[in-house]
Structure 1
Amino acid sequence: MAAESKTKYDRQLRIWGEQGQAALEKASICLLNCGPTGSEALKNLVLGGIGSITVVDGSKVEAYDLGNNFMLDEESLGQSKAKCVCSFLKELNDAVKAKFVEESPDTLIETNPSFFAQFTLVIATQLLENSLLKLDKICRQANVILVVARSYGLTGLVRISLKEHNVIESKPDHFLDDLRLHNPWPELKQFAKTIDLSVTDPVVHKHTPYIVILVRLAEKWADAHDGCLPSTRQEKKEFKDLIKAHMLNLDEDNYKEAIEASFKVSTPRGISSHLCQIINDAAVQVDSTSPDFWVLVAALKVKSFLLLVFKVPPLISFVL
């Protein structure tokens, strides 16, 4: 991404990241009917840096339009509504490609259905049900996302129609490392047992990896609690106290890291039921035309199979 774009869209990049912004800049949007609802939707997309927009509206600007659409003024009266709205939007962000089509959306749906296949997303506003049903069929066949919006004064509705939407990088609020603290693999257990946490040499003590500290003390806790790891709030606090008790002084960063990561000892193993459902979706057949999302899911499924059948060691599985 260019440095200019990073500066221009800095605030939103912090929300959805560079991948989200790149998807936005590649997208092509078609708006059907540029009334107040549709115009407001396009305004937000244009300010966000959408790739290109196409406004479709065959009507002329009338007096009542001036009271509900801030993109129109008295000089717009009698002119093409699509042209006036498109001109205003281009002024908001000159990096966005914008064009207009002076034609009724209903007519376009009837006479030129292939027109909609060129877009990433179609926003249909204030359309009648008959036209919406036809448009929905057209968009689904072309694998184009359809957003339907209709407003009634201060109320309205929004509906989204699409086959599926895949998100590879969702930019989660936090990332939980899989440290295998519930069931460390044999090599890690063996290595951890070679480290004596009771050693009084401050140099050796400060250089013990915090994961080893957690593995050793989690095992010690389990031995004293019928094989169970800390689960309640009080037990987690007591486990932190156990870590603190092994510190020689308060400036040992490795023990501070162990205390901060102590909650990972109580984190359940395995993957969520939602992810299992996606991995085991037998209806999905991956080929050379499949989206990247399903290719990655197929690879993850193969990896899971190797781990289950061939018992591939965890360290190797990370590379697969």
Structure 2
Amino acid sequence: MASPSPKSPEQSEKNKQYDRQLRLWGDHGQAALENGHICLINASALGTEILKSIVLPGVGAITIVDHNIVSDEDIGSNFFLECSSKGLNRGSETLRLLLELNSAVQGHAVYEPAEQILRDNPDFFKSFNVVIATCLGEKTIQDLAQHLWDLNIPLILCRSVGFLGSFRIQMNEHTINETHPENEQIDLRLDVPFPVLAEYLDAFNIDTVDLKDHGHIPWIVILYKAVQKWQTTNQNRWPMSRKEKNEIKDVIQDFFRKDENGIPIEEENFNEALRAVNTALVPTFLPVKIQDLIYSSSAINLTKESSPFWIMCSALKAFVEAEGKGKLPLRGVLPDMTTSTDHYVKLQSMYRAQAAMEAEIIYRKVQEIVAQLHCDSISEADVKLFCRHAHDLHLMKGSNIAEEYRLGNAIASYIARYLEEPDVMMVHYILLRSAEKFQSEHCRAPGEWEPEGDIAKLKTCVTKLLSDISCTPFPKDDHIHEMCRYGGAEIHSVSAFLGGCIAHEAIKIVTKQYKPVNNTFIYDGASTNTATFTF
């Protein structure tokens, strides 16, 4: 059944409010978001823009860690602060105004600096799904990154200085059930039809179908019959090459009805079959990436602490080896086609019933594993969703920011290789890292007090960083001069753009849908260029 239209009285007020995003990540994704708790360290202009784009979609709760007092600079760059906020705690003032955007979101403000929390209350961060940090010093960054890495809690480290901005995602391990690929492969099983489908397909005889029904034959049937006819002269092989698939198209062309002059009569269902040859005739197989997942040590060596993802992977492996006979569970999704309602509903029912049966088998296996491990139960709805997307499961393994800051040989070589290219965005990474180093050494941003006087000091930081990775200094000082001109200021338009991007990544992580940026994203607001790097 189609979902109610946005203005339908059947739709709740909540669904009306979140209609567009529900189309992206569904009810279950929205539920995951509403159960999420995100921590922001420092409510700078960038940090606040991030939270704005997380509060509006309805995250469950946010916590702002910020001991800073609102200054004139904050009011000038942060649209979520008022003149009356000056002299008050920046975190609590930002929180007050952010929560006006969505009454369903819970909010908390903590007035201690992050380094003090790390020292006195390290368990504080355990309750968050994602931690987002801005405006931190080098040592605090490394201590926080290492702590969250050990807890397996994702960290997004963000920077916005002048026209430059970046974010770095640190995830020890992140599993994704729904990657939402742009070109999702349809799963029809025409090469190995399940019994009910095989009986339905074999019952058709295209040559004897009534003329009035000829234009209503589902293209799945047309394709299946064309392959069967082709196989009679090709040792029952499955068509794989382009040449063989073109031969299938020729067979379909022969199925076309002809007029009295022998000219083929165009019918949409037969044209659909021609268009589907390349996409629908993919043989059923176990993708290598899924095979690697279900046979990985995490899926085989389960413990009470194993995540539901790995427990379901283990059950999936048992299914593939037994009932599935080397195949993944059926998706149960039927594409649109030109046919009669009776044919379409019958086909749809077959695919859904088979998919439900196979998902039920895997659910029983999951229950057995849960009982053996004495761990938290996994719902049938979660298992069905996992089975439906079993073809596109994804595992992301990230790297530690603390290791990146130590500039080991592999990371140094990676940076040096990119710096050899002209006008590469890696230059901005070096500048942002050097500005952090400057901040740690001088307790202020480069150019904050005296732009001209800080050029030499910032250049020293750049040279030191480049020498650590065995690179020669920049041939021109333009970038260094520009960074000092920024004076550590945040430009709201740059922070707003980055804030939206980072919020998207945080939502991907919380909902476990879509693939987040893998590692580092750099933005140059002056040229509007972007780049991603994987350290």
TM-score class, shorter: 0.7 to 0.9
Q: C-alpha separation between the residues in 2 aligned to 1:94 and 1:187?
A: 51
The yes-or-no answer on 1:199 pairing with 2:208 is: yes
Describe the SS at the equivalent of 2:136: coil
Identical aligned pairs, as a percentage? 34
Q: Alpha-carbon deviation of 1:57?
A: 0.8
- Look up the equivalent residue of 2:155 and give its one-letter code: L
Distance apart, 1:254 and its partner CA: 6.5
Checking the alignment, whether the CA contact within 8 Å between 2:152 and 2:172 is kept in structure 1 is: yes
Change in CA separation of 1:218 and 1:69 when aligned onto 2, cut-off 3 Å: same
Q: Which amino acid aligns with 2:282?
A: T
For the 8 Å contact 1:17–1:171, the answer to whether it is kept is no
Asked if structure 2 preserves the Cα contact closer than 8 Å seen for 1:218 and 1:265, the reply is: no
- The corresponding residue for 2:121 is 112
Report 1 or 2 for greater relative contact order, CA contacts < 8 Å, sequence distance ≥ 6.
2
Residue 48 of structure 1 aligns with an amino acid whose one-letter code is P
Alignment match of 2:164 (pick from 155, 163, 166): 155
Cα drift, residue 150 of structure 1: 1.8
SS in 2 for 1:31: strand
C-alpha distance after superposition, 1:274-310 (max 9, x if no partner): 2121122124422444222112211111112115879
Match of 2:287 in 1: 272
Work out the number of aligned pairs and report it: 316
Question: Would you say 1:219 and 2:228 are equivalent positions?
Answer: yes
After superposition, the Cα gap between the structure-2 partners of 1:224 and 1:23, relative to the gap in structure 1 and judged at 3 Å, is same
State how far apart, in whole Å, the 2-side matches of 1:68 and 1:254 are: 58
Offset, 1:221: 2.4
Contact 1:184 1:215 (8 Å CA) reproduced: no
Q: Structure 2: how far apart are the matches of 1:114 and 1:229?
A: 58
Normalised by the length of structure 1, the TM-score is 0.83
Please name the residue that 2:239 is paired with. Answer: 229
- Judging changes above 3 Å, is the alpha-carbon distance between structure 1 residues 64 and 37 closer, same or farther for their aligned structure 2 residues? same
Partner of 1:298: 314
Q: Would the aligned equivalents of 1:181 and 1:264 in 2 still touch at CA under 8 Å?
A: no
Q: Is contact 1:122-1:144 (8 Å) kept?
A: yes
What CA distance in whole angstroms lies between the structure 2 residues aligned with 1:291 and 1:283?
A: 9
Q: What's the offset of the Cα at 1:200?
A: 5.6
Contact 2:231 2:238 survives alignment (8 Å): yes
Distance of 1:308 and 1:16 partners within structure 2:
28
SS at match of 2:315: helix
Match of 1:31 in 2: 40
Partner of 2:134: 125
Change (3 A) 1:118 1:186: closer
Q: Distance in 1 between matches of 2:22 and 2:203?
A: 46
- Is the CA contact 1:149–1:156 (under 8 Å) kept in the aligned structure 2? yes
Q: 2 CA distance for matches of 1:72 and 1:275?
A: 48
Q: Is the 8 A contact 1:60 1:78 kept in 2?
A: yes
| Whole-angstrom distance in 1 between the partners of 2:290 and 2:38 | 31
- The unaligned stretches of length 5 or more in structure 2 are 1-10, 259-264, 331-350, 362-535
Query: Is 1:96 matched up with 2:105?
Result: yes
After superposition, what is the alpha-carbon deviation per residue over 1:165-186, rounded to whole angstroms, capped at 9, x for unaligned?
2222344556544333345579
**When the two structures are superposed, what TM-score results if normalisation uses the length of structure 2?**
0.52
CA distance, structure 2, for counterparts of residue 246 and residue 258 of structure 1: 11
3-state SS of the aligned residue for 1:86?
A: helix
